[in-house]
Amino acid sequence: MRLPSLKFLKTFQVAAARLSFKSAAEDLFITPSAVSHQIKALEEQLGVPLFERGPHSLTLTEAGRQYLQHLDMMFTRLETVTDQLRIRYSRGVVRLHMPPFFATELLLPKLPALLEAQPDTDIHINTALAPLQTHPTDADVSIVVNATPEGGLDCHKLFSQAFVPACAPMLLMRSPINTVADLNQHTLIVHEARRDVWERWADSIGVRLRPKKVVRFDTMHAAAQAAEHGVGVALVSSRLGNERFSQGSLVRLFDAELQTGESYYLLLRREDASRPDVQALTQWLLNEFRVAA
C-alpha cells in the first residue's frame, strides 16, 4: 500500500485536534471544503473511517483516535529532528504556545524586547483557539490556564486568574454605574467559554443580577473590545486587562474580584529545560510576567 500524502496526514491531525473542519481550514489557510475532501481521500485510501460526522458535530472514531496518537508522535519527532538540525547547522528555533488573549494583551506589547533579547533564536508563536490547559506535544514552552497542571513537566506559576467588571468611560457618561444594582440597567458581555462567570461573580459578593441584555462573544479579545466600544460591561482578567485600565480604554468598576481557582502557568518538558535557547526564553517570560507571591 502506498503511504498517504503527508499533506493529508497533517490536515487530519489538525482537524482531529480541533474537531472542526472550519477551524482546521483557518489553521491551514485552506477552505473547509478542501479539508473535507482531503480527509475523505485519506479515509478512502486507508479504507477506514476516521471521523463520525453528525449534523452539528464531528467526533473521532476509535481508529481515528489511535491514528491521531501515532501521528502526533510522528510529527512531534519530525519537528524535533528538524529543529535540532537547524540548531546544529543554522539558527535556533523555540516553539511557544499560549492563549490568544495572553498573547495580544501581555506578549505583543513586549515582543520587540523579546526579539532583541534573543537575536539568534527564531521564535514560533502559536495562539491556540481552544482553551489551552495542557502542554502541547509540538511546543517547547507553553503558557496554560489550569488549576492543576499535569505532572512530569517543569511548572512555573505566573499569576492567579481573577476577573473584574469593566466598561468604557463613554458608557459611564451615558449611564453611571455607582452600585452593583446599576448593572441591571446595562448589557452584560459574556465570553462563550465562561458563560457562568457573571453569576459566579455575583454569588461571590452575595447579590443576584438581572441584566437588561446579555451579549456573548467567542473570544475574550472580542469581549474586551466590545466593552471598549461601549457595548456593555464585561468581566475581564484583572491581570491581562491592566494595559487597558492604564490607558483608560476600560474602567474598572468595583474592587470585588472573582477568584476562579485557576492560574496561568509556564510549562516545559524537563528534557527541553537544559536547552540554552529554551532556558533563555523561559527566564525572560518569568521575569516579565510572573507576579511575586
What pLDDT, on a 0 to 100 scale, did the predictor assign at position 293?
A: 60
Strand 258-269 versus strand 251-252 pairing type: unpaired
Averaged over 223-247, what is the pLDDT?
93
Phi and psi torsions of 47, nearest 5°: 75, 25
Mean pLDDT of the chain: 89
What pLDDT, on a 0 to 100 scale, did the predictor assign at position 282?
A: 95
Position with higher pLDDT, 90 vs 126:
126
- Contact at 8 Å (CB) between 130 and 213? no
For the cut 80, the answer to whether the pLDDT of residue 233 exceeds it is yes
Averaged over 137-158, what is the pLDDT?
85
- pLDDT tier at 91 (50, 70, 90 boundaries)? low
To which residue does cell 482531529 refer?
A: 16
Count helices and strands (H / E) in the chain: 11, 11
The count of other CB atoms within 10 Å of the CB of residue 291 is 11
Averaged over 225-231, what is the pLDDT?
95
For the cut 80, the answer to whether the pLDDT of residue 108 exceeds it is yes
Tally of CA atoms within 13 A in the half-sphere of 184 that contains its CB: 8
DSSP 88-120: HHS-EEEEEEE-HHHIIIIIHHHHHHHHHH-TT
Angle ∠(234,253,180) on CA atoms, nearest 5: 85
Q: What is the pTM of this model?
A: 0.67
Looking at the chain, the whole-number percentage of residues with pLDDT higher than 90 is: 63
Tally the residues of the chain.
293
- pLDDT tier at 87 (50, 70, 90 boundaries)? low
For the cut 80, the answer to whether the pLDDT of residue 106 exceeds it is yes
What pLDDT, on a 0 to 100 scale, did the predictor assign at position 97?
A: 92
